[in-house]
Structure 1
Amino acid sequence: MIIESKVIQGKKLIFNFRSAKKEDASNLSVLRLKIDEETEFLDREPGENFLSPLDFEKLIYEDSISEKNIFLVAEIDDKLVGFARLQGNNLSRFRHKAEFGICILKDYWGFGIGNSMLESILMVADSNGIEKVSLYVVETNTKAIELYEKYGFKREGLLEKDRIHKDGKYYNTVLMGRLANKLKSQ
């Protein structure tokens, strides 16, 4: 799915928010590596599960023609600073669900980019028959958990000792979900 480009006045900065384009593939490959190096909150160590520009081109194309997927980017002064992706499920038993993730360069945390991406993802999900949106978040990422709860996500489970980081310590993962507005009243 493709959304129209929007200019957003965030907290102390203005950013452009739009669907990813084929031309973004190289920059997305580099951006993903940089973000992986900046935080322990993601599932990957830096360089793991590397996505090449061709891999990103394929994702961008597949998401652009899907009714349940969306790939968004945030840019400031023509520089990509973050991205988000909602991925629906094509299996019959899970076609009502989708999962998402958001990645933003650390220098741009706290400026409202994540809020804007999440709002757009939920709008797309709600308007396209996705009844449940799920995510996994490391328990120590309290800012992200607060953001998700603000948008109606509930904690559905805790995966204990689910991940091990470079420091040799185990961390728990919180499973969160949000039901579409029409289901909340049932």
Structure 2
Amino acid sequence: MFIDKREFHVKEVRYTIRSADVADAAQLSALRVKIDGETENMDREKGEAFIDAPGFEQLIKADAEASRNLFLVAAVDDRLVGYSRCQGSELKRLAHKVEFGVCVLQEFWGCGIGQNLLKESIAWADSTGIRKIALSVLETNEKAIALYQKLGFAIEGVLKKDKILSDGNYYDTIVMGRFHE
């Protein structure tokens, strides 16, 4: 699916949120690797589960054709600085929900990019009849958890000792969801 392009101006940063295009594939491949290396909030370490430009092209094309998928990018000028993705299922018992994931370059944290990617995804989901958005977040990512709660997400469960980080310790994953009546 696609959304209309939206412009934002937060903390002296002007950026656009729009649907991903196949022309974004090479930038997305490099961006994903960079973000994965900046924080342990992501599931992957830098370079793991690498997706090359042709892989992103296929993903973008498939998401554009799928009624329950939405792939968004955030761009400052022509530079991609973040992205989000909602992925749904065609299975009847799961067709009411999508899984949401988001990532933003660390230098742009605090500019509302993640929040606006999520708000655009919520608006899309609500307008297309999707009832539930689900996500997972590392327990230490307190700012993200607070944002999700502010936008109507509730904690649905905790996956105990779900991730091991570079300090050798195990951390919980918080499972959250937002249900639209």
In 2, distance between residues paired with 1:62 and 1:125?
18
Matches within 5 A, 1:157-168: 157-168=157-168
How do residues 1-186 of structure 1 correspond to structure 2 at under 5 angstroms?
A: 1-180=1-180, 183=181
Letter of the 1:145 counterpart: I
User: What secondary structure, in the 3-state scheme, does the structure 2 residue paired with 1:26 have?
Assistant: helix
Name the aligned partner's letter for residue 58 of structure 2. Answer: K
Report the count of equivalent residues: 181
- Displacement, 1:12? 2.4
Q: Secondary structure at the match of 1:71?
A: strand
Deviates more, 1:18-27 or 1:5-14: 5-14
CA distance in 1, matches of 2:72, 2:11: 19
Aligned residues: CA RMSD: 0.8
SS at match of 1:93: coil
Poorly superposed stretches of 4+, deviation over 3 Å: none
Task: Read off the aligned partner of 2:81 and give its amino acid letter.
Answer: V
- Give TM-score, length-normalised by structure 2: 0.97
Q: Which runs of 5+ in 2 are unaligned?
A: none
Cα shift readout 1:113-139 (whole Å, capped 9, x = no counterpart): 111111100011111111111000000
Q: CA deviation at 1:11?
A: 2.7
Query: Unaligned 5+ residue runs, structure 1?
Result: none
State the alpha-carbon separation in 1 of the partners of residues 157 and 112 from structure 2: 27
TM-score scaled by structure 1? 0.95
Post-superposition Cα deviations, 1:42-82, rounded to whole Å, max 9, x if no partner, equal 00111111111111001100111122111111111211100
Q: Give the drift of 1:97.
A: 0.9
Deviations 1:2-36 (Å, cap 9, x if unpaired)?
11222111232110111111010001000000000
Equivalent residue of 1:49, what SS?
A: coil
Mapped to 2, the partners of 1:7 and 1:130 lie a distance apart of: 25
Aligned AA (1:102): V
Identity of aligned residues (%): 50
For 1:126, the aligned partner's letter is: D
Q: Distance in 2 between matches of 1:30 and 1:19?
A: 18
